Amino acid sequence: MKASKHKIVLYNPDAVFFDMPLALLAIGSCFDNSRYDVVIIDGRIDENAHQKVLEEVKGAVCFGVTVLTGKPINDAIVITRKVKQNNPEVPTVWGGWHTSLFPERTLEEEMSIDIAVQGQGEITFQELIAAFEKNSSLDGIHGICYHSEDGEVIKNPTREMVNMDELPPANYGLIDVEKYFQKKGRRQLDYISSVGCFYRCAFCADPYVFKRKFSAISPERMSLEFARLYKKYAYEDINFQDETFFTFKDRVLLMAQELINQNINISWAATLRADQGNRLTQDDFHLLAKSGLRRVLVGVESGSQEMMDWLKKDIKKEQVISTAEKCIESNIDVQFPFIVGFPGESAEAFTKTINFAITLANKSDLFEIIIFYFKPYPGSAISRDVIKQGYLMPTSLQQWSEFDYIGSSGPWMTAEKYHDAETLKFYLKLSRSKHTLAFPLKWIAKKRLMNKRLGFPIEKSVIEKFIPQQKLS
């Protein structure tokens, strides 16, 4: 008589974006589908997602949730409490960025969570499932925190990074890929080819979580996977979710050549550091463009070299310009994110950032300039410094769920700087408008940016009076 499968239920909390749940795919793909039934439910995609979880979790060996810091925490708490209330015998496991940053604090505050996973979760989760099946101790499982029988929070040793090529490919059959295509409005496949980052940016949590280590899938394996997935899903675009996709130049160039050789007619987008772009030749960029590279994201952060150095970006402004010019030559779009409002940012540094952002915007219509306001992201070097200086970070899951690190400014922004930054953001957006009725205003915006004259923004006042701007949350 055939034994029944063990069921594993995984949940992706509600959020405002529709990237495929790659973390859950990575974990779920590690299990033999002849022995395990992995069910992925997505709060952003599935109707009545909570009800589906409660139906599926009955008799399951485990319930797992991936959690980003911010709004997704709320939904994660609600569903985890429901699962625990209805099925107290089912172990609940949280993983993702938030538990990698705050493993002990998360468990101390929320008793409905049994285990918190840190860093890469594929091997850790396999060991957890084996322990659940055998009802054995969690003592020897690296990379977790858990509640002991008496309620104490125990933190096990850190798990070392696993070579990406030793892990199985993502099984996209665990999700309804077409639903994600529909939500995105394009047949775009999300894919992650590496984990970690060698670099030391002071505003980023990656050095804290992955200890400046990096592992990537080989280009040979990627090309085989892309061909197989292309045949199955007929995707038109790949959105690489890597932190630093171009870490190894030869790896990326080989992958690009394989896309060409195999006639995989797609476009793709990825992250690119300015120093990496500077090391690529123009011929390299032509090859990348021929393979389908449509856009790169090049983090600039500041227009002041002194601020760049303080941020430990380890890039030069000249490298940004070099990368920008090569992208123009190869007709590749670029997103250039900047951040203003850092602690200790002088008026001169702020002005240099505004001017450098405008300089890049004026170079090409291929370029999109994005302005963010600094908020100390948990785990980053700057956040540790400002906490020592008295800055109060959120201390509870509820406060972290309300933490806005995209739309609002921190306490280091003066009213004058905020006004200037908002004005720049307005004219940058207007200069890229594709609406035919906005053409005269688009022309004015381009002229203002070209001449670096953003004072008296009467167009902004008039437009926002009749079209109130949506506030980010």
**Within a domain: residue 451?**
no
Q: Indicate whether 180 belongs to any domain.
A: no
Give mean pLDDT, residues 383-404: 89
Tell me the pLDDT tens digit for each residue of 197-238. 999 999 999 998 999 999 999 999 999 999 999 999 999 999
pLDDT over 50 (residue 473): no
User: How many domains, the chain?
Assistant: 2
Residues 24 and 105 in one domain: yes
CA angle at 242 for the pair 319 and 277, rounded to the nearest 5°: 15
Where residue 20 sits, what CATH number does that domain have? 3.40.50.2300
Please report, for residues 15, 76, 80, 196, 381, the alpha-carbon distance to residue 376 in angstroms, rounded to integers and kept in the order given. Answer: 21, 23, 28, 20, 9
Asked whether residue 425 is domain-assigned, the answer is no
Of 100, 120, 155, the one marking the end of a domain is: 155
Pair (31, 114) in one structural domain = yes
Q: Which of 155, 177, 207 is the last residue of a domain?
A: 155
Query: Domain for residue 140, yes or no?
Result: yes
Give the torsion sign (CA, 371, 374, 375, 381): positive
Boundary-marking domain end, from 102, 122, 155: 155
Whether residues 51 and 135 share a domain: the answer is yes
Q: Are residues 140 and 254 in the same domain?
A: no
- As a whole number of angstroms, the distance between CA 336 and CA 303 comes to 11
Give the whole-angstrom CA distance, residue 211 versus residue 125.
21
pLDDT tens for residues 37-76?
999 999 999 999 999 999 999 999 999 999 999 999 999 9
For residues 146 and 231, membership in a common domain is answered with no
Question: How far is the C-alpha of 319 from the C-alpha of 322, rounded, in Å?
Answer: 5
In this structure, are 132 and 255 located in the same domain?
no
Are 242 and 99 within one domain? no
How far apart CA 313 and CA 380 sit, in angstroms, is: 13
Q: Where are the alpha helices (DSSP H) in 4-121?
A: 22-28, 49-56, 72-86, 97-101, 103-109
Contact status, residue 109 vs residue 397, Cβ threshold 8 Å: yes
Q: Determine the pLDDT at residue 468.
A: 59
- If asked whether residues 144 and 226 sit together in one domain, one would say no
For CA atoms 444, 447, 453, 454, the dihedral sign is positive
Residue 368: C-alpha distances to residues 30, 373, 447 (Å): 38, 17, 17
**Phi, psi (5° rounding) for residue 87?**
-140, 70
- Band (pLDDT 50/70/90 cuts) for residue 406 is low
Report which of residues 438 and 337 the model is more confident about.
Answer: 337
Tens digit of pLDDT for each residue in 261-306?
999 999 999 999 999 999 999 999 999 999 999 999 999 999 999 9
- Identify whether 321 is part of a domain: yes
Band (pLDDT 50/70/90 cuts) for residue 472 is very low
Q: Tens of pLDDT along 193-206?
A: 999 999 999 999 99
Among the residues of 193-340, which ranges form H helices? 206-210, 219-233, 249-261, 274-279, 282-291, 305-310, 317-329
pLDDT-above-90 percentage for the chain: 87
Q: Express each pLDDT in 234-257 by its tens digit.
A: 999 999 999 999 999 999 999 999
Indicate whether 103 and 242 sit together in one domain: no
Give CA separation, 140 vs 40, 128, 241, in Å.
27, 10, 31
Place of tokens 């004015």: 444
- 192 within domain boundaries: no
Cα–Cα dist 213/330, whole Å: 31
Does residue 406 share a domain with residue 257?
Answer: yes
Where residue 9 falls (left for φ over 0; alpha for ψ -120 to 50; beta otherwise) is beta
Asked whether the beta carbons of 21 and 50 are under 8 A apart, the reply is no
Looking at residue 403, its pLDDT comes to: 82
Using alpha carbons, select from 58, 51, 64 the residue that is nearest to residue 23. 64
Torsion of the alpha carbons at 40, 43, 47 and 51, rounded to the nearest 10: 80
Phi, psi (degrees; rounded to nearest 5) at 194: -155, 165
pLDDT band of residue 469 (cuts 50, 70, 90) is low
Task: Indicate which CATH number applies to the domain containing 231.
Answer: 3.80.30.20
* DSSP H/E element including 297: strand 293-297
Domain identity same for 276 and 399: yes
| Residue 338 belongs to some domain of the structure | yes
Please tell me the predicted confidence (pLDDT) of residue 471.
47
- My answer on whether 224 and 346 are in the same domain is yes
415/421 Cα distance (integer angstroms): 10
The rounded percent of the chain whose pLDDT value lies above 70 is 97
What residue numbers bound the domain in which 229 lies?
218-376+394-413
What is the average pLDDT value for the chain, to the nearest integer? 94
1 has a pLDDT exceeding 50: no
In a domain, 36, yes or no: yes
Angle (CA) 297 303 305, round 5°: 110
